[in-house]
Amino acid sequence: MKDADDLFDLASLAVAHDETNAFDAVVPPIVQTSLFTFSSYAEMEETYRGLKVRPTYSRGLNPTVRIFEEKLAQLEGAEDALGFGSGMAAISSTIFTFVKPGDRIVCVRHCYPDTYRLNETLLKRFGVTAQYVDGRDQDAVAAALPGAALFYMESPTSWIFETHDIRALAALAKRHDVLTVIDNSWASPVFQRPITMGVDLVLHSASKYLGGHSDVVAGVVAGSNKLIGQIRSATLPYLGGKLSPFDAWLLLRGLRTLPIRMRAHEAAGLSIARRLATHDAVVKVHHPGLGNHLPDGLIGTSGLFSFEFRPGIDIPAFADKLRLFKLGVSWGGHESLVVPAEVVRKQAAGPNSAIDFGIDARCVRLHVGLEGADVLWSDLAGAIDFAARAQT
């Protein structure tokens, strides 16, 4: 469990100035260039021979992107990090670095839907299979791990926010010599630092809380120098999904307010989850903070959770009646959002994890933004009352 001093350290790290010494500016410049030239033949040769590390082309290395990568590595307690043009670019480049045809990966059930689709489409085409486990069941995980190439975790999971004992699962994987990867987008490093619990690689959709303003699509992976070096050389240059300098600059701006935003999402999210839990139109609330205690290593909760309506509530009427909550699929920004599972279950393209993992059609996912718990509750409660009266 982290104490207040640790949280203060993280906050100061997130806010810390990025010392580029450019014009004594408090905010680093956006080095908006694709290309860097060499001053001489000798310098060019030295760089190509790997004797000197310096930017040559922004698909590989860019100073603004590098500041973001170094800051994120520090926040996650990792040696290094690599920024990508989306969370999925980070996820696919990471998985493809460590698998080969014939391999099997173990993945927790209720992983992010496009991670599921990546496993069930592209990875399958390249001869890699995925086996899904209930991450809460350590015996099931232990039985699946021997011989696996990689263990892909997410805790809390997508849609129903199951939490896992990350420290115990990472130790199990170590015993079987299986590489561990976790999607930490939900908690952010403010509330959960999986590297410190023994996980090898930590991924983020930086489009969510790290950016925090719904104005950037980005991803990042953090880990040891060795593992990040493997991703940097084995897949990043060829899949090419590198983070852009402007997006890195937006992420640096987002990181400066990450700790205070996370605490605001937590307070408003918990307040709304508790009110939903006692509402007679609701049968279940999936929020990790409603139990007696949080799992080891998770020291706070974000604004993303879901609940299930009792039968007889008109979900389209509920969704259309909302005014502050918008209908939208991403999350992690300032705005509050709602996604009904019954819509997601109808998604036409590709394997459908909402159906395959059995997400109830009466489930609704909420992202609680920064508008304030009381006004959001009044929006939600009004729409629920309307939908209960509109029942068919």
Judged by CB, which is closer to ligand PLP: 230, or 330? Answer: 330
To the nearest whole angstrom, how small is the minimum distance from the Cβ of residue 283 to ligand PLP?
A: 24
To the nearest whole angstrom, how small is the minimum distance from the Cβ of residue 205 to ligand PLP?
A: 3
Judged by CB, which is closer to ligand PLP: 94, or 158? Answer: 158
Q: Of how many residues is the chain composed?
A: 392
- CA separation for the pair 337, 340 (Å, rounded): 10
- CA separation for the pair 28, 17 (Å, rounded): 8
Judged by CB, which is closer to ligand PLP: 76, or 313? Answer: 76
Q: Which stretch binds ligand PLP (CB under 6 A): 86-94, 96-104, 266-274, 312-320?
A: 86-94
Using CB under 6 A, pick the residue from 217, 221, 248, 364 that binds ligand PLP. Answer: 217
Peptide bond into 156 cis (omega under 30): yes
Q: Which stretch binds ligand PLP (CB under 6 A): 36-44, 85-93, 116-124, 133-141?
A: 85-93
User: Residue of minimal CB distance from ligand PLP?
Assistant: 87
Judged by CB, which is closer to ligand PLP: 64, or 205? Answer: 205
Q: Exposed/middle/buried for 312, CB within 10 Å: 0-12, 13-18, 19+?
A: exposed
Check residue 87 for interaction with ligand PLP (CB under 6 A): yes
Query: In terms of DSSP bridges, do strands 104-108 and 129-133 run parallel, antiparallel, or are they unpaired?
Result: parallel
Check residue 112 for interaction with ligand PLP (CB under 6 A): yes
Check residue 330 for interaction with ligand PLP (CB under 6 A): yes
Judged by CB, which is closer to ligand PLP: 219, or 297? Answer: 219
Using CB under 6 A, pick the residue from 158, 163, 235, 301 that binds ligand PLP. Answer: 158
Judged by CB, which is closer to ligand PLP: 186, or 249? Answer: 186
- CA separation for the pair 167, 182 (Å, rounded): 12
Give the residue ranges of DSSP H helices in the chain. Answer: 4-15, 41-48, 63-76, 87-97, 113-118, 124-125, 138-144, 166-175, 188-191, 225-234, 236-239, 245-256, 258-277, 315-321, 341-344, 353-356, 373-389
- CA separation for the pair 199, 108 (Å, rounded): 14
Check residue 219 for interaction with ligand PLP (CB under 6 A): yes
Check residue 88 for interaction with ligand PLP (CB under 6 A): yes
Q: Output the CA angle 210-98-351, nearest 5 degrees.
A: 70
- CA separation for the pair 277, 48 (Å, rounded): 60
Check residue 86 for interaction with ligand PLP (CB under 6 A): yes
Give the residue ranges of DSSP H helices in 176-244. Answer: 188-191, 225-234, 236-239
Three-state SS at 149: coil
Q: Which stretch binds ligand PLP (CB under 6 A): 83-91, 119-127, 139-147, 354-362?
A: 83-91
Check residue 205 for interaction with ligand PLP (CB under 6 A): yes
Contact residues for ligand PLP, defined by CB under 6 A: 86-88, 112, 114, 158, 183, 185, 205, 207, 217, 219, 330
